[in-house]
């Protein structure tokens, strides 16, 4: 792994970028009970994790991000009960992810965060009772009480392993940020597979469909759909979350990697990543269709799992367009999915032309001649 020390002062100011229309080849659906699930999940966060926030204002800021919709968007066809459990789980890990990026919280100390992560893992892996003054543990116990009855013995082992991977990835991101280290592209993607929670995203897709793919996964049947599908998820997230990651000086993002390791200006880096999104989404669909044309298509559980992955990929992208988490507290999505995006505005939206005080910025087409990514409609 090649690591470069972050030296942001050497980079020219880059105040905005143009995001073209991404392919979005998979159908988006909302769970029929999405609104109620989101509201109930917000109440669960307040009950179990409200004390983790520094103030009521910070808790409300988190709840306004609409993180409770991620579950209903990614498992739109499951029962309301399982969708609720999944929504609460995704809110839980998003609280952790938020504090990992916060230098005044979990992100302040790698060793301290690792100790907390070990306690969380013990609740899921060993059934350890959580201390009353450990809200992460109490929340974990409640989630495990609700989710574990719907998992096979093999899936419970995978669930604990997937949580280990997520928390290990989070700890690595903390250390990287504290040290100001930017990994190379391949290393970044390997770490992001863990810190993005790819293993439990796949497992909860099974849980939502009430199926178990544990026996088939070792055969390699899903290797290609997983590889391309998870990379599409990660890169789309890196593009749409860049305002947040840029402001927080996060180092574990593919945008930062291309700026630092390849010396690209922001627009060129965005164009490159847009091309990769198109590549991975197209290859995911090809790999999925290959399975659906094979003997495995006779298995209803395989078809259900692939349908679930379609919903996961499409729903995750839909959520990332709509959440104020990435566009500023108070942002309201109007359905626009392409345009210029300001890094400086407190609340941003996609606009057809550059707006704001810094009109001419390095990397914008009118300055450098860069154009939206070839092969991706703009």
pLDDT reading at 2 higher than 70:
no
Domain 19-349 has CATH 1.10.3720.10: no
Rounded Cα distance, 198 and 252, in Å: 16
At residue 156, the pLDDT reads 94
pLDDT reading at 37 higher than 60:
yes
DSSP H helices, 196-299, are 198-209, 223-240, 242-247, 254-261, 266-292
* Cβ 127 vs Cβ 140: under 8 Å: no
The beta strands (E) that lie in 47-169 are given as none
261 or 173, which is more confident: 261
Give the highest mean pLDDT range of 91-105, 125-139, 242-256, 300-314. 300-314
At residue 359, the pLDDT reads 38
Expressed in percent and rounded to 5, the helix, strand and coil fractions of the chain are 65, 5, 30
- Range with the lowest mean pLDDT among 11-20, 169-178, 261-270, 271-280? 11-20
DSSP-assigned letters across all residues of 93-125: HHHHHHHHT-TTTGGG-HHHHHHHHHHHHHHHH
* Cβ 59 vs Cβ 13: under 8 Å: no
At residue 5, the pLDDT reads 46
* Extents of the domains making up the chain: 19-349
At residue 1, the pLDDT reads 63
- Range with the lowest mean pLDDT among 15-24, 156-165, 274-283, 332-341? 156-165
pTM, two decimal places: 0.89
Q: What is the pLDDT of residues 285-304, one digit of tens each?
A: 999 999 999 999 999 999 99
Categorize the per-residue pLDDT at 3 as very low, low, confident or very high, splitting at 50, 70 and 90: low
Rounded Cα distance, 131 and 133, in Å: 5
Q: What is the pLDDT of residues 113-155, one digit of tens each?
A: 777 777 887 877 766 676 677 888 899 999 999 999 999 999 9
At residue 184, the pLDDT reads 95
The beta strands (E) that lie in the chain are given as 3-5, 16-19, 181-183, 339-342
Categorize the per-residue pLDDT at 41 as very low, low, confident or very high, splitting at 50, 70 and 90: very high
Residue 217's alpha-carbon distances to 125, 154, 352, in angstroms, are 21, 12, 44
Local structure of 133: helix, strand or coil:
coil
Q: What is the pLDDT of residues 43-72, one digit of tens each?
A: 999 999 999 999 999 999 999 999 999 999
At residue 43, the pLDDT reads 98
The whole-chain average pLDDT of the chain stands at 88
Rounded Cα distance, 348 and 294, in Å: 46
Helical axes 254-261 vs 223-240, angle rounded to 10°: 80
- Range with the lowest mean pLDDT among 29-33, 100-104, 305-309, 320-324? 100-104
* Cβ 375 vs Cβ 278: under 8 Å: yes
What is the pLDDT averaged over residues 342-348? Answer: 95
- Other Cβ atoms less than 10 A from the Cβ of 337: the count is 15
At residue 309, the pLDDT reads 98
Give the highest mean pLDDT range of 95-109, 124-138, 257-271. 257-271
Rounded Cα distance, 262 and 378, in Å: 24
pLDDT reading at 105 higher than 70:
no
In degrees to the nearest 10, what's the CA dihedral of 41, 237, 332, 325? 60
Categorize the per-residue pLDDT at 372 as very low, low, confident or very high, splitting at 50, 70 and 90: very low
Report residue 341: phi and psi, to 5°: -130, 120
Categorize the per-residue pLDDT at 4 as very low, low, confident or very high, splitting at 50, 70 and 90: low
């Amino acid at each position: 792994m090649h690591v470069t020390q972050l030296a942001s002062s050497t980079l020219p100011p880059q105040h905005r970028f143009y995001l073209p229309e991404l392919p979005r080849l998979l159908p988006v659906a909302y769970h029929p009970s999405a609104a109620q699930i989101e509201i109930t999940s917000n109440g669960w966060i307040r009950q179990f994790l409200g004390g983790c926030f520094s103030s009521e204002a910070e808790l409300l800021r988190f709840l306004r991000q609409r993180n409770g919709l991620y579950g209903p968007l990614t498992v739109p066809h499951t029962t309301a009960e399982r969708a609720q459990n999944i929504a609460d789980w995704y809110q839980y890990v998003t609280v952790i992810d938020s504090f990992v990026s916060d230098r005044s919280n979990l992100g302040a100390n790698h060793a301290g965060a690792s100790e907390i992560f070990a306690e969380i893992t013990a609740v899921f892996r060993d059934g350890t009772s959580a201390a009353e003054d450990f809200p992460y543990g109490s929340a974990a116990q409640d989630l495990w009480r609700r989710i574990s009855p719907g998992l096979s013995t093999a899936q419970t082992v995978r669930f604990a392993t997937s949580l280990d991977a997520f928390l290990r990835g989070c700890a690595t991101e903390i250390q990287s940020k504290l040290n100001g280290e930017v990994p190379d592209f391949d290393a970044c993607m390997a770490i992001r597979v863990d810190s993005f929670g790819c293993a439990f995203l796949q497992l909860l897709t099974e849980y939502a469909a009430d199926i178990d793919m544990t026996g088939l996964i070792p055969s390699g049947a899903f290797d290609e759909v997983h590889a391309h599908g998870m990379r599409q998820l990660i890169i789309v997230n890196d593009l749409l979350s860049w305002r947040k990651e840029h402001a927080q000086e996060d180092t574990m993002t593919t945008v930062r990697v291309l700026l630092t390791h390849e010396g690209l200006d922001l627009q060129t880096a965005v164009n490159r990543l847009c091309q990769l999104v198109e590549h991975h989404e197209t290859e995911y669909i090809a790999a999925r269709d290959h399975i659906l044309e094979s003997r495995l298509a006779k298995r209803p559980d395989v078809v259900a799992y692939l349908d679930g992955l379609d919903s996961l990929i499409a729903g995750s992208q839909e959520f990332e367009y709509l959440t104020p988490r990435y566009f500023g507290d108070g942002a309201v999505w109007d359905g626009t999915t392409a345009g210029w995006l300001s890094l400086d505005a407190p609340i941003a939206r996609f606009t057809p032309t550059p707006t704001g005080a810094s009109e001419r910025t390095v990397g914008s087409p009118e300055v450098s001649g860069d154009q939206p990514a070839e092969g991706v409609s703009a």
